[in-house]
Amino acid sequence: MEHLIATSQRMATSRASIDYPSIKMNERSCTSPSKLDKKLIQQRFHKAKESYDQHAIAQQQINQHLLDLLLKHAGTQFHQLLELGCGTGLLTQQLQQHILVNNWYINDLCDMQDLVAQKLTLPHWTFLQGDMEQITLPPFCDLIISASAIQWVQDKPAFLKRCAKSLKPKGWLFLSTFTADNLKEIRQLTGKGLDYPSLAQWHTWLSHDFDLICCETKTIQLFFRTPMEVLCHLKYTGVTALQKTIWNRQQLLFFCKRYSDEFTQKNQHVGLTYTPLWIGVRKKVNK
């Protein structure tokens, strides 16, 4: 397990402008939205795009390990690459430093083209804005890669089928997402969270079109001085894109007290847990 001290800008408790699912402190059952609000997701990540790089501590570690797995198993040369859910371009920037690609396609739900362009030195690349479940994916890709984005996909089996159709035979698909214990502190106190598939579900969905090459999990725990800093961290990385609810001051103070009571560590900081999952697969020859 990795332990990191993370700091965020403090926010006064009198300003209860934190967007997060309604507090249900006495409920232990956890729910996720039956249908993801893609417009809200787009709004939250667009709002967080200027603060994301500074606060995406866990996500940057996740990107690095995804890149390490790619280099280990698939090499460094590809004719055509598609990155789905590029965000601010952190992974894109790392990829261009380590692999050679003739045709780059870069996608995000938000209009991140200008922000991504600041990080790239590539002479030619194509930005595809839109929902990765709906846009037309370029055919004949050697590699599709996506970091910390597919948890926002509504129909994951259908999405994986779309990826398979976009890939050449023996093409590579590398993904990072999260397991059910991700952000477990928030889930425990609010009863809200995304629905993360089990490893068995991922294996079932992938087995028809792909051969499994690697599958790894890990626990990354960040530490913050106060629960308010936890909420700021989530807001500044766009993670609050589930439901649009603004807490009042009493709710906010109640949440912070419960968080401190239950999750204060020996170092007197409060913890927040990320549980990333990395998957690397290769399209079957006969598909």
Q: Please report the pLDDT score of residue 243 as a whole number.
A: 61
Q: In this structure, are strands 167-178 and 2-5 parallel, antiparallel, or unpaired?
A: unpaired
Q: Which residues of the chain have pLDDT under 50?
A: 1-3, 5-31, 33
Strand partners, 270: 224, 264
User: For residue 54, what is the enclosing H or E element?
Assistant: helix 52-55
**How many Cβ atoms are within 10 Å of 222's Cβ, its own excluded?**
22
Contacts 24+ apart (CB under 8 A), 94-99: 94/63, 94/64, 94/67, 95/67, 95/145, 96/120, 96/121, 96/122, 98/67, 98/71, 99/70, 99/71
Secondary structure letter of residue 176 according to DSSP: E
Tokens 């629960």 identify what position?
227
What span, in angstroms and rounded, lies between the C-alpha atoms of 102 and 28?
A: 50
Q: Please report, to the nearest 10 degrees, the dihedral formed by the alpha carbons of residues 171, 176, 180, 182 taken in order.
A: 180
Q: Mutual orientation of helices 227-236 and 249-263 as an angle, nearest 10°?
A: 110
Q: Please report the pLDDT score of residue 10 as a whole number.
A: 33
Residue 236 and residue 54 in contact, taking contact as beta carbons nearer than 8 Å:
yes
Q: Please report the pLDDT score of residue 1 as a whole number.
A: 47
Q: Please report the pLDDT score of residue 247 as a whole number.
A: 83
Q: Please report the pLDDT score of residue 215 as a whole number.
A: 98
What span, in angstroms and rounded, lies between the C-alpha atoms of 7 and 114?
A: 28
- Which of these, 279, 284, 282, lies nearest to 69 by C-alpha position? 279
- Enter the pTM of the model: 0.87
DSSP 208-257: TTEEEEEEEE--EEEEESSHHHHHHHHHHTTTT-S---B--HHHHHHHHH
Q: Please report the pLDDT score of residue 272 as a whole number.
A: 96
Give me the domains of the chain, ranges plus CATH numbers. 2-283 (3.40.50.150)
What span, in angstroms and rounded, lies between the C-alpha atoms of 22 and 192?
A: 8
Strand partners, 217: 277
Secondary structure letter of residue 137 according to DSSP: P
Tokens 């846009």 identify what position?
135
Q: Please report the pLDDT score of residue 228 as a whole number.
A: 95
